[in-house]
Amino acid sequence: MEFDNTQWIIERFEAMGLTLQYGDHVDERDVLDSSSIESRVADLHAAFADPNVDGIISVIGGFTSNELLPYLDWDLIAANPKVFCGYSDFTTLANAVHARTGLLTYVGAHWSSFGMRDHFEPTGQWFRKATHEFEWSIEHQSEFTDDLWFMNQDDRNPLRTDGPWILNEGDAGGKVIGGNLCTLNLLQGGDCMPSLDGTVLFLEDDGAVGAHDFARDLASLLQLPEAENILGLAIGRFQTGSQVTREQLELIISKHPLLKEVPVVANLDFGHTSPMFTLPIGGFAELTAHGSTVSLNFSHESK
């Protein structure tokens, strides 16, 4: 089958000792490349209720996961904690589930991400550490890819990265909240927005978002009541198509007084490029940025 990368997906999950099964409505697809609210909610509820299911992972991203929020059974979800992971549009679900239930969730690789034949190793290792270990550290990578790998696995050219950009020096330890910025902002004003008090925010966006959109989306988030208690900010690597520069980010960050006294680091290995590390939403992050050195450590609970 053209573009069929499932052999890599199956092999990688089997290597972790995991067997894949799929929701009853996983093959539904409407004109908006999604499916009905009823179908998606039914699949989620069935997976959480099934004692034989240890984890739930999104197949791919999209645009409308926030449609599901009014219809989710929060008591059912809270009573059945399990790995719950995905990224991009999944940001709403990961943060909402944590906000409403207190459960740890993950912003990380999709099911489809595991179909990347080459240059996948750091992503896979970070996913396993986040879901199988209590504490783990991030080693910054020297290369990344930003391509339509799922359409062409053979002609891929890794790009060099100059590593993390320290926009503000400092040390921070706090709760992990975040993911895709414009998607996280969809939770504002509702009962599914997590508290920003005492957090290290992890934010990224895709190639359709340039510096102007990122600036106003960040400003919107920082105007929430508890934003003054943010302890640190980590920004994921932008896709090349967004054309966001370090100079632009330095200007954006410098405009906000509440960020002047906290560490701010950008160009990190998460977001819509590869490799991407997995964020434990509701977990704990230690971020240290001094000189040219950035260290980042995660754990499932605060120390």
The residues annotated as belonging to the active site are: 88, 204, 272
DSSP, residue by residue, 101-129:
H---EEE---TGGGG--SS-HHHHHHHHH
> By the 8 A CB rule, do 155 and 190 touch?
no
DSSP structural state of residue 277: P
Identify the H or E element spanning 13. helix 6-15
Residue 246 φ/ψ, nearest 5 degrees: -60, -40
CA distance 65 to 35: 10
Q: Tokens for 72, please give them.
A: 């989710």
* Whole-number Å distance between alpha carbons of 9 and 117: 9
199-238: burial string, b at 16+ Cβ within 10 Å, e else: bbbbbbbbbebebeebbebbeebbeeeebeebbbbbbbbb
Show Cβ contacts of residue 196 under 8 Å, excluding neighbours closer than 6 positions: 177, 221, 224, 226, 227, 229, 230
SS3 215: helix
Task: Find the DSSP H helices in 30-142.
Answer: 37-49, 74-78, 91-101, 121-132
Q: What is the number of other CB atoms lying within 10 angstroms of the CB of residue 190? A: 13
Q: For the chain, state the CA radius of gyration.
A: 18
